[in-house]
Amino acid sequence: MTVIEAIDLTKRFGGPSAPPVLDAINLSIQAGEVFGYLGPNGAGKTTTIRVLLGLLNPTRGTVRVFGEVPGERDAARARLGVLLENSGLDDRMTAFQSLDYHARLYGVSNRTRRIERLLGFVGLADQRDLKVGTFSTGMKRKLGLARAIVHDPELLFLDEPSAGLDPEAQRMVRELLQELARTRNITVFINSHHLDEVQRLCSRIAILHRGRIRACDSVDALRRGAGGDRIEVRFSDAGQAARGAQALRALGRLPEVTVEGDRLATSVDGMTAPEIVATLVGEGLGIEEVVRPVKSLEDVYFEIMREEEAA
């Protein structure tokens, strides 16, 4: 089931001559996905969420959430949970009152039991009767997350969910979202600058730059693709790596062979990996390891950003 669909989504502020904040965005997100939406400040991530929530209308294109145009039916909003960067909590309420107020709005049954359980899960059970105004940024973030899921939504929008959280709390957020996706088939849409968090959580990601999607795929596919069709060979010492590079260069079939210490790296454009290894073995070299490099999501992200800035 397609939960979120955007076709040619374009958003401008300030008239038809203004540059687009979102430029022909196309997305299709399925039920149960944890989808990461990455990009630098000003890329259009929060604007995308606001359009998907029905808080902004697109300038052009089509957007559907659960098959409907966002904001057209109030009943559809009960299926959504939202945590924006500004949590919008009332500082005059206690933690319990804040959750109870939202639970009443959504007609949650067994409110007290559910609220107590959520406060315990996010580590705020001992602060249930304290005013939100006394909370730290991290505590407010935890309470905001509890509020977003108090009514057991089917789709959860999170804007920088780990902002202001310490490492232990970040892990708590990851575990909660993984449990929701696994056990309740909830769909999660995450805006985040926290690349490690996204790599751990998300089944797919999109990378946004200047209002356009520059890459969209699974994390594994993006990392493998960024590594290219290359191999790295580790030898027993640096001298053998240098000899191996000399032997491969002499063949004249590989575009580039590099050496760093006891490692040799080359593309497999012109020779297959088995042919390269056979050549090195034929030279009597002591090969310790042959690997295909896989870049981190951070490497992929910054590589895309550099390419876009240079374009």
pTM: 0.78
Ramachandran class of 166: left when φ > 0, alpha when ψ lies in -120 to 50, beta otherwise: beta
Enumerate residues 6+ apart whose C-beta is below 8 A from 131: 91, 92, 93, 94
Tokens 């693709």 belong to which residue? Answer: 225
Q: Which structural domains are found in the chain, ordered by start?
A: 2-218 (3.40.50.300), 229-291 (3.30.70.80)
Taking each helix axis from N to C end, the angle separating 297-310 and 219-227, rounded to the nearest 10 degrees, works out to 70
**CB-CB contact of 32 with 185 (8 Å):** yes
At 291 the pLDDT is 87
Is 91 exposed, middle or buried, given 0-12, 13-18 or 19+ CB atoms closer than 10 A?
exposed
Output the tens digit of pLDDT for each of the chain's 311 residues: 899 999 999 999 988 888 999 999 999 999 989 999 998 888 999 899 999 999 999 999 999 999 988 877 667 788 999 988 777 899 999 999 999 999 999 999 889 999 999 999 888 999 999 999 999 888 888 899 899 999 989 999 998 887 777 788 788 788 888 887 887 788 999 998 788 888 888 889 999 999 999 999 988 888 776 555 778 999 999 999 999 999 999 999 998 899 999 999 998 878 888 999 999 999 999 899 998 777 778 888 888 888 877 76
- At residue 226, the pLDDT reads 54
φ and ψ at residue 220, rounded to 5 degrees: -60, -45
- Quote the CA–CA distance of 219 and 200 in Å, as a whole number: 9
CA distance 150 to 115: 7
How high is the pLDDT of residue 74? 67
